[in-house]
Amino acid sequence: MTEIAQTQNLLEDNLSRYLDLLRQWVEVNSFTGNPQGVNRLGDLTAEAFASLGFQAERIQAANPAYGKHLVLTREGSSGRKIGLISHLDTVFPPEEEEANDFHWRVEGDRIYGPGTNDVKGGTLTILMTLEALREFAPRAFDAITWVVLLNAAEERLADDFGELCQERLDDTALAALVFEAGAHIGHTFQLVTRRKGRASYRIQVEGRGAHAGSNHPEGANAIVQLAHTIQRVAALTDYDRQLTFNVGTVRGGTVINRVPHLAEAEVEMRTFDPQVFADGVRQMLALQNQVDVRSVLGNYPCRVQINVTAQSDPWPQNPGTQKLFRIWEQAAQSLGYQVLPEARGGLSDGNALWQHLPTIDGLGPHGLNGHCSERSPDGSKDQEFVAISSFVPKAVLNAVALRMLCEETNDDNRPQTTDG
């Protein structure tokens, strides 16, 4: 029996232990706005990795309303690092879990529950991957300094975690590996090699208030102007360029007998291409120069102001990610698998890392319905779940690829990290 087969059997034999860990993690509500739960999950996660020799460090998120980021480090002998990225938080408040009876539930090959797929299952895959690597490639495992970084506020796209990762994964780091869920059907896996960027905007319109009955001509209706601007925003969506604008919130006015003097909307923009992204920002900001509504008496024009409130650059195709994909592709071929690249519309911590070191994503298990706590009798709505059968194959694939990655440190007079 080959080392790989022995490792796969070892993981299969320990699967009940792994799933019991996952159950403990899923039973902790770790909604981003529940810092106590996030920190409790961090403690349980640190305990699970301690048996592999990892030391835990907790760093308070920049926003004090959130929990603590968790950094787990196991020092190696070669001076080289590899970062493994996951997050602690989920999008489900405790009351939502309770209202929808959204808890740990096993049905056949599926485990339902908050975070099973996004991304507590990914954290479990990190643990399984490292235990597999320790089993069949111990020299590589001991040579590398492994840094597991878990974001306390990934679902809120907080910038400080990306800065923390960049600080800990310096120029001695070979790669950043992101363990968000990855599709796995049969012998085919999908790995995320690029992601859309996101810009969010606030549109603020200042008009002129007036009594709606006695002085209507003196008013400049901020809501009406905002409606004009919103139509222009929607028209910027260009599916041919994979550029989308979404008007997500609208607010304005106070009472119906007053011409409203203030209105605002929030918008997000997404696209894959950096040049299209920059062009989208330019087009959006240009809309503040287009004013349609002014008072009839006094000729008072509404004022439109548009500000970028947050920005995460796209993660496009790039040589570092392509290099890692080729390694995982070779590992898959050696196992009789196939891997395919995926471009994903959502963001991950990889958006903050790919420009600093080679980064790949989608290394977690297979599942569906992320961010969904609802289910319906007819099956048209179903809750988040992870596929039990995806854990062992993904961990073995990751472990084989990581050994190949470690072996590439042998050039440039770097220390040897191969096994036998």
Q: Which CATH number fits the domain that encloses residue 254?
A: 3.30.70.360
Q: What is residue 332's DSSP assignment? A: H
What is residue 157's predicted lDDT score, i.e. its pLDDT? Answer: 85
Judged against a pLDDT cut of 50, whether residue 205 lies above it is answered with: yes
> Does residue 218 lie in a domain region?
yes
Look up the pTM and report it: 0.92
Residues 97 and 24 reside in one and the same domain? yes
What is residue 160's predicted lDDT score, i.e. its pLDDT? Answer: 96
What is residue 240's predicted lDDT score, i.e. its pLDDT? Answer: 98
Judged against a pLDDT cut of 70, whether residue 415 lies above it is answered with: no
Q: How many CA atoms lie within 13 A of 69 on its CB side?
A: 26
Judged against a pLDDT cut of 80, whether residue 332 lies above it is answered with: yes
Residues 63 and 173 reside in one and the same domain? yes
CB atoms within 10 A of CB 305: 12
Residues 186 and 297 reside in one and the same domain? no
Ranges 54-63, 153-162, 244-253, 277-286: which has the least confidence: 153-162
Judged against a pLDDT cut of 50, whether residue 39 lies above it is answered with: yes
What is residue 219's predicted lDDT score, i.e. its pLDDT? Answer: 97
Task: List the domain range (segments joined by +) for residue 108.
Answer: 3-195+315-410
Average pLDDT over residues 133-147: 96
> Does residue 415 lie in a domain region?
no
> Does residue 226 lie in a domain region?
yes
What is residue 420's predicted lDDT score, i.e. its pLDDT? Answer: 36
Residues 101 and 149 reside in one and the same domain? yes
> Does residue 255 lie in a domain region?
yes
Average pLDDT over residues 26-48: 98
Closest CA to 119 of 158, 82, 92: 92
DSSP three-state, residue 83:
strand
Judged against a pLDDT cut of 90, whether residue 52 lies above it is answered with: yes
Residues 212 and 287 reside in one and the same domain? yes
> Does residue 417 lie in a domain region?
no
Q: Where does a domain end: 277, 312, 347?
A: 312
Closest CA to 162 of 309, 320, 312, 349: 349
Residues 284 and 366 reside in one and the same domain? no
Q: Where does a domain end: 289, 312, 335?
A: 312
What does the mean pLDDT of the chain come to?
95
What is residue 280's predicted lDDT score, i.e. its pLDDT? Answer: 98
Residues 25 and 161 reside in one and the same domain? yes
Q: Which CATH number fits the domain that encloses residue 158?
A: 3.40.630.10
> Does residue 419 lie in a domain region?
no
DSSP three-state, residue 312:
strand
Judged against a pLDDT cut of 90, whether residue 416 lies above it is answered with: no
Tell me the per-residue pLDDT of 206-232, one tens digit each, with 9 for 90 and over. 999 999 999 999 999 999 999 999 999
User: In this structure, which amino acid lies at residue 297?
Assistant: L
What is residue 409's predicted lDDT score, i.e. its pLDDT? Answer: 62
> Does residue 416 lie in a domain region?
no
Residue 310, token pair as written in the block = 């947050």
Q: How far apart are CA 292 and CA 379, in angstroms?
A: 47
Residues 285 and 341 reside in one and the same domain? no
Residue pointed to by tokens 């489900």 = 92
Residues 148 and 68 reside in one and the same domain? yes
Domain count, the chain: 2
Residues 138 and 53 reside in one and the same domain? yes
> Does residue 191 lie in a domain region?
yes
Q: Where does a domain end: 264, 296, 312?
A: 312
Residues 110 and 24 reside in one and the same domain? yes
Closest CA to 3 of 51, 11, 77: 11
Residues 275 and 221 reside in one and the same domain? yes
What is residue 417's predicted lDDT score, i.e. its pLDDT? Answer: 32
Closest CA to 45 of 69, 64, 10: 69
